[in-house]
């Protein structure tokens, strides 16, 4: 029932619209027109005013066509890409879609969005039974799930849902993820001429190096990691650097381990500052909380039953990465992530196969069928 050519065409059209985070207006307008043409109830929220972008989250609803108690569900994906795709050239080799290598493809997350839309089209064309189905297409996911946190999902009265936004295999599901904390650190030293009076200065770079050298970083435990990702500072090669800014993070499926790691990193920055006579400002933010969804909950049962009905694994996975599901779960709506076919995401080798796009649409259709069956149990 899935129309492969229509699906692939939509996927390409979505990818070809340049939509970096906070600049998704053209992509949202295209998505809105597409969904309105399908006859769905479509609206936008006011996320742009909350997050400082030029576009809102896009929401659409296909009203139930069955009687009785059938769960209300949603499928979700995000418009924005991790970097711009201006000038994207899409190539196809052996049934796999790539960019020409000069940009990312944008399969993250159009490989989630296009199959979800195709599934709704198939439902409409074949008058398949379904409960209320929402499509939640967010903005600014790549910079901290900003659109999802701004989206008032609690007002939609949905029972549970699925975010189509992780790698293969199709038919696997992320039910457990990490808590992710971020540190923004500014070290204030003292400037001096590096050749004439270096002893009169306090090198903020040296303080940073001292602190980082003492830190536990990388793989801290089986499901705990930490990283110092960005360092910037200094003014000239002949000036003792007076200021350095650092971005660092810690993640774990155990919030207590995140807390311990963050405390350790903060202590090392503070100790190094004291040692050299510098000062340090530290801002600590919880980027998002983790979640763990039990195997026997409806959101998981419907997904696993759907996958197995199609001969897929139904594997339940843990990941330290985040997605809009973290935000939706934090707001109280049970949500898991569906594995898509997108591979090598965030790189210029990103790609997805036609087969996986089709299978994602098939899986969405079967999830809908399983929710109807669950309502009749």
Per the listing, tokens 């510098």 go with 278
Is 80 in the active site? yes
C-alpha angle 79/134/171, rounded to 5°? 75
Would you call 225 helix, strand, or coil by DSSP? strand
Q: Of residues 24, 108, 118, 141, which has the active-site annotation?
A: 141
Contact in structure between 133 and 41 (CB atoms under 8 Å): no
Looking only at the bridges linking them, the beta strands covering 133-138 and 73-78 are parallel
Q: In a 3-state reduction of DSSP, which class is residue 304? A: helix
With a CB cutoff of 8 Å and minimum separation 6, the contacts of 11 are 97, 107, 110, 111, 114, 352, 357
Q: Give the C-alpha separation, 350 to 115, whole Å.
A: 18
- Helices 4-15, 354-376: axis angle to 10 degrees equals 110
- In the numeric block, the tokens 């090669």 are attached to 237
| First-to-last C-alpha distance (Å) of the chain | 26
Computed on alpha carbons and rounded to an integer, the radius of gyration of the chain in Å comes to 23
Beta-ladder partners of 74: 134, 161
Q: Is 300 in contact with 126 (CB distance < 8 Å)?
A: no
Q: Do residues 102 and 70 touch, judged by C-beta distance below 8 A?
A: no
Q: Residue 230 CB: number of other CB atoms within 10 A?
A: 10
Query: 352: which residues sit within 8 A by CB, 6+ positions away?
Result: 11, 96, 97, 105, 107, 111, 340, 341, 342, 343
For the chain, give percent helix, strand, coil, nearest 5.
35, 30, 35
Q: How is residue 188 annotated by DSSP?
A: E
What is the CA 179 to chain-centroid distance, rounded? 13
Which residue in 24, 80, 142, 249 is the catalytic one?
80
Distance CA 198, CA 194 (A): 5
Show which residues are catalytic. 80, 141
């Amino acid at each position: 029932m899935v129309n492969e050519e229509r699906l692939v065409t939509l996927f390409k059209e979505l990818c070809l619209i340049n939509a970096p985070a906070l600049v998704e207006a053209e992509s949202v307008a295209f998505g809105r027109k597409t969904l309105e043409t399908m006859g769905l109830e479509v609206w936008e929220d006011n996320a742009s005013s909350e997050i400082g972008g030029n576009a809102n989250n896009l929401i659409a609803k296909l009203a139930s066509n069955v009687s009785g108690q059938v769960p209300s569900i949603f499928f979700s994906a995000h418009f924005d890409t991790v970097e711009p795709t201006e000038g994207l050239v899409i190539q196809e080799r052996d049934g796999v879609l790539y960019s020409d290598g000069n940009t990312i493809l944008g399969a993250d997350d159009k490989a989630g969005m296009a199959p979800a839309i195709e599934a709704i089209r198939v439902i409409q064309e074949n008058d398949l039974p379904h409960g209320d189905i929402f499509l939640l297409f967010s903005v600014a996911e790549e910079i901290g799930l900003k659109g999802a946190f701004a989206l008032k999902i609690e007002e939609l009265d949905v029972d549970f849902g699925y975010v189509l936004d992780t790698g293969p295999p199709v038919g696997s599901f992320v039910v457990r993820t990490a808590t992710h904390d971020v540190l923004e650190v500014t070290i204030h030293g003292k400037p001096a001429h590096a050749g004439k009076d270096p002893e009169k200065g306090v090198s903020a770079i040296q303080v940073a190096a001292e602190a980082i050298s003492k830190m536990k970083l990388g793989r801290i435990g089986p499901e705990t990691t930490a990283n110092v990702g960005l360092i910037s500072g200094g003014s000239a090669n002949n000036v003792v650097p007076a200021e350095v800014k650092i971005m660092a993070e810690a993640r774990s499926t155990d919030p207590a381990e995140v807390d311990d790691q963050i405390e350790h990193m903060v202590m090392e920055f503070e100790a190094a500052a004291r040692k050299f006579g510098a000062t340090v400002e530290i801002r600590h933010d919880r980027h998002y909380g983790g979640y763990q969804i039990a195997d026997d909950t409806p959101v998981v049962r419907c997904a696993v039953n759907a996958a197995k009905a199609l001969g897929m694994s139904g594997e339940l996975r843990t990941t330290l990465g985040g997605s809009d599901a973290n935000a939706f779960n934090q707001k109280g709506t049970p949500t898991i992530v569906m594995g898509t076919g997108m591979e090598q995401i965030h790189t210029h080798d990103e790609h997805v196969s036609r087969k996986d796009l089709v299978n994602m649409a098939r899986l969405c259709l079967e999830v809908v069928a399983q929710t109807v069956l669950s309502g009749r149990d």
